């Protein structure tokens, strides 16, 4: 029995040792904890938003909006038709949102497109710090916005909520800035994996959406673990059925590829329209209104504007997942889907451009899905023997559109495969996504995205090679007279030269004034005072191979020469005349140049 208890008590010690000594185990543990936190909060978030939306829009306002098969959480008969309540709901939400954000999150105006963009900004510019007030206020106001009918998605708020959990946990554990950023992404991955019920797609989207041409590889392991744990908790409550109740679509006819290529072109065009419409309404309409009348009136006006749109076109209320399912099932006309592309773009721009809270992810998927629905339906109409499953184009359009506007090709592609529970559309997904990504590279949805790690302040300390390649030897070596010794200089004369000089290395000159070697003081230290060597040893015998620098060489090349030669100083010779020694570059000069440039870059960031 004593041995049993000893073994039991030993388990926590072993786990603690593994956490501190095994890097991957550490990220497994932290990813699981963040995933558990995010999954729990995502569950609460989903229940509250669905209940409140059913109460406001269905019971009180009398709207009967389609709901996807996997999200029919609350059901019941619709109340009496009171569409005018939209103005009260969204106007009040606009006023309350404006007040709360101005009072508790005054920097929200400059936070970016939505919650996901706020997370991206925290990763690049705030060392992964997200104050708890930011996700608390943004998520609360997002719930009100979406429940009242605002055209916004749940994914932005939930990714910000997960990122806030990761940032908070990192602060409690006193982790480094690098580790805090990784947990930030792990939390965002947990939120996306749960709300989409797509654990791998959520994890991949979180690590790639912060860049346009790169992804955060170090965060992949904890992001996957966090997403899996969060997804497991979420589906434990709501079930593992996918969001959309649709048949499995398959790609089997190569003749469809040109149609899918056309879909990629259309997604690039609608993506350009989506991004530029949003930015125009945000920066050209609501920002001037904010500057003139204040933040609260501008947000309230956005709420009333969305109410007017929803009053005329109820199909544009909320995230619109139910309409996407109908499009996949072929129950919407081409005219209606084309109108929804324009309407959803304007409605989302008014809602989020005014300063109301919510996500751009779901509306982007909506516009992309409807773009695919238009192409699929037209293709089926004109080529019925080729385009046999137009609903599949809706799914492909969702992934291709978001890849184009968010520069995130892999995550949405995998996410769509998870939503369809198969890889039957993988080939057309890859084709349409690639075309939309290439053609849409100048239309970025997220304002705080950067091109790659070298452009991110988060990785400014990793840019050693990049920094040194931009600096030239001519700007950092010490010009002046250099003590040069001849190849035939005897050891006794060498001793006098070394004693009377502060230099550590001496160029050795041979025939025709050519620098043939370098004499290092450390090579002579042990025999410096051996009188018997005075007439026997000459400089040419003990000199190392000549390693020379030119003024136009970059410091990274110089650093490699220092490493290969193991010399403390290297002579700098004229680029046109290698016999003319201009000065010496010391190894510490390279390090000093790196440190100064790095400090300057951090200050500018």
Length of the chain: 605
In contact, 346 and 126? CB cutoff 8 Å: no
Which of 386-390, 436-440, 510-514 is predicted with the least confidence, judged by mean pLDDT? Answer: 510-514
Same domain, 231 and 272: no
Q: Strand pairing of 581-586 and 478-479? A: antiparallel
> Tell me, what's the pLDDT at 165?
94
Say whether pLDDT at 190 is over 50. Answer: yes
Residue with tokens 């385009």: 387
3-class SS at 545?
strand
Token pair recorded at residue 134: 């930011």
Distance, in Å, from the CA atom of 16 to the CA atom of 84, rounded to the nearest integer, reads: 60
Same domain, 452 and 476: no
Task: Name residues whose C-beta falls within 8 Å of residue 294's C-beta, 6 or more positions apart in sequence.
Answer: none
Q: Could you tell me what percent of the chain has a pLDDT over 70? A: 92
Mean pLDDT of 145-159: 92
CATH no. for residue 75? Answer: 1.10.3080.10
Distance, in Å, from the CA atom of 327 to the CA atom of 118, rounded to the nearest integer, reads: 31
Q: Strand pairing of 569-573 and 485-486? A: unpaired
128-153 in b/e burial notation, b at 16+ Cβ within 10 A? bbbbeebbebbbbbbbbbbbbbbbbb
Task: Name residues whose C-beta falls within 8 Å of residue 311's C-beta, 6 or more positions apart in sequence.
Answer: 83, 84, 86, 87
- What digits encode the pLDDT tens for the residues 22-77? 457 788 899 999 999 999 999 999 999 999 999 999 999 999 889 888 787 887 78
Task: Describe the chain by its helix, strand, coil percentages, rounded to 5.
Answer: 65, 5, 25
Range of the domain at 65: 26-238
Token pair recorded at residue 96: 């309350």
3-class SS at 426?
helix
Do the domain assignments include residue 9? no
Same domain, 379 and 528: no
Distance, in Å, from the CA atom of 597 to the CA atom of 605, rounded to the nearest integer, reads: 12
CA of 334: how far to CAs of 36, 227, 271, 377, in Å? 43, 36, 19, 7
Do the domain assignments include residue 244? no
Closest CA to 207 of 27, 334, 333, 370: 27
> Tell me, what's the pLDDT at 20?
44
Task: Name residues whose C-beta falls within 8 Å of residue 96's C-beta, 6 or more positions apart in sequence.
Answer: 141, 144
| Angle, vertex CA 297, rays to CA 292 and CA 301, nearest 5 | 110
Distance, in Å, from the CA atom of 373 to the CA atom of 340, rounded to the nearest integer, reads: 11
Same domain, 445 and 527: no
Do the domain assignments include residue 105? yes
Last residue of a domain, one of 430, 458, 486: 458
CB-count exposure of residue 289 (10 Å: 0-12, 13-18, 19+): middle
Same domain, 113 and 37: yes
Last residue of a domain, one of 458, 489, 507: 458
Same domain, 507 and 595: yes
Say whether pLDDT at 12 is over 60. Answer: no
Same domain, 171 and 81: yes
When divided into structural domains, the chain yields a total of: 3
Residue 305's CB: how many other CB atoms inside 10 A? 23
Mean pLDDT of 296-312: 95
Q: Between the CA atoms of 84, 87, 92 and 97, what dihedral angle is there, to the nearest 10 degrees? A: 140
In contact, 185 and 206? CB cutoff 8 Å: yes
Do the domain assignments include residue 10? no
Do the domain assignments include residue 463? no
Distance, in Å, from the CA atom of 214 to the CA atom of 217, rounded to the nearest integer, reads: 9
CA of 539: how far to CAs of 484, 491, 504, 506, 536, in Å? 11, 7, 14, 10, 10
Do the domain assignments include residue 536? yes
Residue 526's CB: how many other CB atoms inside 10 A? 8
Token pair recorded at residue 183: 């947990």
- What digits encode the pLDDT tens for the residues 433-470? 999 988 887 778 888 888 888 778 777 656 555 677 77
Task: Look over the chain and give the mean of its residue pLDDT values, rounded to a whole number.
Answer: 86
Say whether pLDDT at 6 is over 60. Answer: no
Distance, in Å, from the CA atom of 37 to the CA atom of 163, rounded to the nearest integer, reads: 11
Distance, in Å, from the CA atom of 154 to the CA atom of 243, rounded to the nearest integer, reads: 14
Cα dihedral sign, 67-71-75-78:
negative
| Angle, vertex CA 204, rays to CA 198 and CA 206, nearest 5 | 95
Give the confidence band of 530 by pLDDT, cuts at 50, 70, 90.
Answer: low
Last residue of a domain, one of 408, 435, 458: 458
Same domain, 344 and 424: yes
- What digits encode the pLDDT tens for the residues 353-373? 999 999 888 899 999 999 999
Do the domain assignments include residue 139? yes
Give the confidence band of 19 by pLDDT, cuts at 50, 70, 90.
Answer: very low
Q: Where are the beta strands (DSSP E) in 354-486?
A: 478-479, 485-486
> Tell me, what's the pLDDT at 463?
54
Closest CA to 303 of 86, 470, 492: 86
Q: Give the CB-side neighbour count of residue 11, counting CA atoms within 13 A.
A: 6
Same domain, 478 and 452: no
Which of the residue ranges 103-107, 216-220, 231-235, 559-563 has the most confident prediction, judged by mean pLDDT?
A: 231-235
pTM of the model: 0.76
Same domain, 178 and 217: yes
Do the domain assignments include residue 465? no
In contact, 40 and 233? CB cutoff 8 Å: yes
Same domain, 86 and 164: yes
Same domain, 575 and 502: yes
Instruction: Provide φ and ψ at 197, rounded to 5°.
Output: 55, 45
| Angle, vertex CA 560, rays to CA 555 and CA 565, nearest 5 | 120
- What digits encode the pLDDT tens for the residues 479-499? 888 888 888 887 777 777 777
Say whether pLDDT at 250 is over 90. Answer: no
């Amino acid at each position: 029995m004593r041995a049993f208890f000893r073994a039991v008590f030993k388990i926590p010690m072993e786990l603690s040792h593994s956490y501190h000594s095994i890097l991957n185990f550490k990220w497994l543990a932290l990813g699981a904890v963040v995933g558990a936190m995010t999954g729990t909060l995502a569950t609460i978030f989903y229940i509250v938003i669905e209940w409140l939306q059913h109460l406001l829009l269905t019971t009180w306002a009398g709207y009967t909006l389609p709901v996807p098969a996997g999200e029919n959480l609350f059901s019941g008969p619709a109340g009496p038709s009171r569409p005018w309540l939209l103005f009260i709901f969204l106007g009040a939400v606009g006023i309350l949102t404006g007040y709360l954000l101005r009072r508790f999150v005054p920097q929200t105006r400059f936070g970016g497109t939505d919650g996901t963009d706020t997370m991206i900004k925290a990763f690049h510019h705030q060392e992964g710090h997200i104050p708890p007030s930011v996700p608390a206020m943004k998520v609360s106001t997002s719930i009100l916005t979406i429940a009242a009918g605002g055209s916004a998605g749940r994914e932005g708020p939930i990714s910000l909520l997960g990122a806030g959990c990761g940032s908070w946990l990192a602060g409690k554990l006193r982790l480094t800035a690098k580790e805090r950023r990784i947990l930030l992404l792990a939390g965002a991955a947990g939120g996306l994996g749960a709300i989409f019920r797509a654990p791998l797609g959520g994890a991949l989207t979180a690590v790639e959406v912060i860049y346009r041409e790169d992804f955060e590889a170090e965060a992949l392991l904890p992001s996957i673990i966090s997403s899996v744990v969060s997804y497991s908790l979420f589906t434990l409550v709501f079930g593992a059925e996918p969001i959309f109740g649709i048949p499995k679509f398959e790609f089997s006819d190569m003749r469809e590829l040109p149609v899918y290529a056309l879909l990629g072109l259309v997604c690039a065009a609608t993506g350009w329209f989506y991004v530029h419409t949003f930015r125009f309404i945000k920066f050209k309409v609501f920002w001037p209104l904010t500057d003139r009348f204040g933040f609260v009136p501008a947000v309230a006006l956005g709420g009333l504007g969305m109410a007017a749109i929803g009053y005329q076109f109820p199909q544009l209320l909320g995230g619109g997942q139910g309409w996407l399912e109908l499009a996949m099932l072929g129950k919407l006309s081409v005219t209606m889907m084309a109108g929804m592309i324009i309407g959803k773009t304007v409605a989302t721009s008014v809602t989020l451009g005014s300063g109301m809270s919510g996500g751009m992810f779901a509306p982007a998927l909506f516009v992309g899905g409807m773009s695919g629905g238009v192409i699929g339906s037209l293709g089926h109409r004109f080529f019925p023997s080729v385009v046999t499953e137009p609903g599949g184009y809706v799914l492909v359009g969702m992934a291709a559109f978001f890849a184009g506007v968010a520069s995130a090709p892999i995550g949405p592609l995998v996410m769509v495969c998870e939503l369809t529970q198969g890889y039957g559309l993988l080939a057309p997904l890859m084709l349409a996504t690639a075309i939309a990504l290439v053609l849409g590279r100048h239309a970025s949805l997220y304002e705080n995205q950067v091109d790659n790690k070298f452009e991110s302040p988060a990785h400014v300390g990793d840019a050693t090679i990049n920094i040194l390649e931009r600096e030239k030897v001519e700007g950092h070596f010490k010009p002046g007279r250099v003590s040069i010794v001849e190849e035939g200089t005897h050891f006794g004369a060498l001793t006098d030269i070394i004693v009377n000089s502060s230099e550590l290395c001496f160029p050795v000159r041979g025939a025709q004034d050519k620098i043939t070697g370098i004499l290092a003081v450390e090579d002579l230290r042990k025999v410096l005072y051996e009188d018997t060597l005075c007439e026997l040893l000459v400089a040419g015998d003990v000199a190392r191979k000549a390693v020379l620098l030119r003024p136009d060489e970059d410091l990274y090349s110089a650093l490699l020469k220092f490493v290969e030669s193991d010399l403390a100083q290297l002579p700098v010779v004229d680029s046109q005349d290698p016999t003319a020694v201009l000065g010496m570059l010391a190894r510490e000069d390279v390090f000093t140049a790196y440190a100064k440039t790095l400090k300057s870059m951090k200050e500018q960031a």
